[in-house]
Amino acid sequence: MNETHDPGLKSWVESANTETCDFPIQNLPYGVFSRADAPAPRVGVAIGDQVLDLAAAEAAGLLPGGGGLFSNPAINTLMARGAALWAEMRLALSRMLRQGARPRPELLTPMTDATLHLPFEVTEYTDFYASREHATNVGSMFRDPANALMENWLHMPVGYNGRASTVVVSGTDIQRPCGQIKPPHTDQPTYAASAKLDIELEMGAVVGTPSEMGAPLSVAEADAMIFGYVLLNDWSARDVQVWEYQPLGPFQAKAFATTISPWVVTQEALAPFRTPGPVQDPQPLPYLRQQGPHNFDINLTVTMQPAGTTQPSTICRTSFKHMYWSSAQQLAHHAGSGCAMRTGDLLGSGTISGAAKGSLGSLLELTWNGRDPLQLADGSERTFIEDGDRLTLSGHCQGDGYRIGFGQAAGTVLPAAAV
């Protein structure tokens, strides 16, 4: 850690100095924004309730790295340049924004005036299944509780390749998907709108520097390649999934939408919140062994708000620190066959669930596949998501007098298209 992590740092942007602000000077997450009077998207950094325009700061000669880093409406160019420049840029931004520096209000846009876009070009999307509690719950629900985990689960991070084309930024409405559905009491499937639409509370690791085809990675090398993290909701159609997932795993049940938060919180900003994960037994194979703390203590919350109501209901509180397989292990395993990883690859952690009832990261678990309805603040019940419901993921790390926040990953469900 370095001077940018000093909990005593304050910014000349006064809104960044409150203890509950998601975006203090210790954070400095990257995103892409536009304004009504400047509709071309450009890269910015969140500071308090403002966005610092990095394209304008670069044009004014205030940033390191040479010209062109922020000429595109995505942070991929910066991410591809590697960890040395990431650290140099963070230090320059911290010194520019801290108290005592010359205020540059002309570089700021109020968050209320900003439209937020996807922060990076998603080149590929892979989703994992790395929470032991979640995997045990699902295995108990649909297989034998005494043998809930598949034989391979404790030996490698299990995952599948998803769709980068339907990764969307927070605030994007989600249309209820349709697909093949076969209830247990029927002989033939039908094509219909999903009646068991669900969320998956996840974190997404964003790959910065690429790797070459044919070049496996150690966990340490993989960790150094991760630029940062976003909140991620891998929306899931459970009734489609249960019919299609054997023998090759999820497909259409998860291909229709994945929502991420608009701010990428850098791995460097999260350094003070590294923590050991669970003890891995059996010990992983050598290429998956890790030294030191590779998990992060990120507090996560999910709320559900039905249409026409004003009070959201908190349905889940959990932490990212309990994940059995770390993001670095997931990336190392992904490259273990020689698979090339690219700048902008997105790795979903898999559903994040804890041991307690209120810490389960999906409605599938919270209602035990519809058996135990949730009671919401407005008096209604839910087993799965209904049209008009708004689901919001939020998260933060709690420091000494400050917090490193991720903002939100939110989406409202719209009715299915006519079948």
Rounded to the nearest 10 degrees, how much is the dihedral formed by the CA atoms of 190, 191, 195, 197? Answer: 130
Contacts of residues 81-85 at CB distance under 8 Å and 24 or more positions apart, as own/partner, are 82/208, 82/209, 83/208, 83/209, 83/224
Q: What is the mean pLDDT of residues 227-254?
A: 96
Average pLDDT over residues 328-356: 98
The average pLDDT across 294-313 equals 97
Q: Could you tell me which residues are beta bridge partners of residue 30?
A: 45, 264
Query: Which residues partner with 33 through β-bridges?
Result: 42, 116
CATH topology of domain 125-414: Fumarylacetoacetate hydrolase; domain 2 (3.90.850)
What share of the chain in percent tops pLDDT 70?
A: 100
To the nearest whole percent, how much of the chain has pLDDT over 90? 96
Nearest to 289 by CA among 220, 215, 339, 214: 220
Extents of the domains making up the chain: 3-117, 125-414
Q: How much is the mean pLDDT over the chain?
A: 97
Residue 343 C-beta-side C-alpha neighbours within 13 Å: 15
The answer to whether residue 315 scores a pLDDT higher than 80 is yes
Calculate mean pLDDT across residues 295-321: 97
What are the residue numbers of the active site? Answer: 134
The CA distance from 317 to 394, in Å, is 10
Q: Residues of 143-162 as b/e, b for ≥16 C-beta within 10 angstroms?
A: eeeeebeeeebeebbbbeeb
pLDDT at residue 44 greater than cutoff 80: yes
Confidence band (pLDDT; 50, 70, 90) for 29?
very high
CA dihedral sign of residues 356, 269, 94, 344: negative
Predicted pLDDT at 418? 80
Q: Does position 419 have pLDDT exceeding 80, yes or no?
A: no
Exposure string of 311-337, with b = 16+ CB inside 10 Å and e = fewer, is: ebbebbebbbbbbbbbbbbbbbbbbbe
Q: Is residue 42 a contact partner of residue 54, using CB atoms and an 8 Å limit?
A: yes
Asked whether the predicted pLDDT for residue 178 surpasses 90, the reply is yes
Per-residue pLDDT, 324: 98
C-alpha 331/C-alpha 271 separation (Å) is: 18
Taking the C-alpha atoms of residue 150 and residue 128, their distance in angstroms, rounded to an integer, is: 14
- Predicted local confidence at residue 66, as pLDDT: 84
Contacts of 268 (CB under 8 A, 6+ apart): 4, 86, 87, 90
- pLDDT tens track for 65-75: 988 899 899 99
For 94-149, how does the pLDDT look when each residue is reduced to its tens digit (9 = 90+)?
A: 999 999 999 999 999 999 999 999 999 999 999 999 999 999 999 999 888 989 99
Which is nearest to 208 in space by CA: 81, 32, 67?
81
Architecture of the domain spanning 3-117: Roll (2.30)
pLDDT at 133: 97
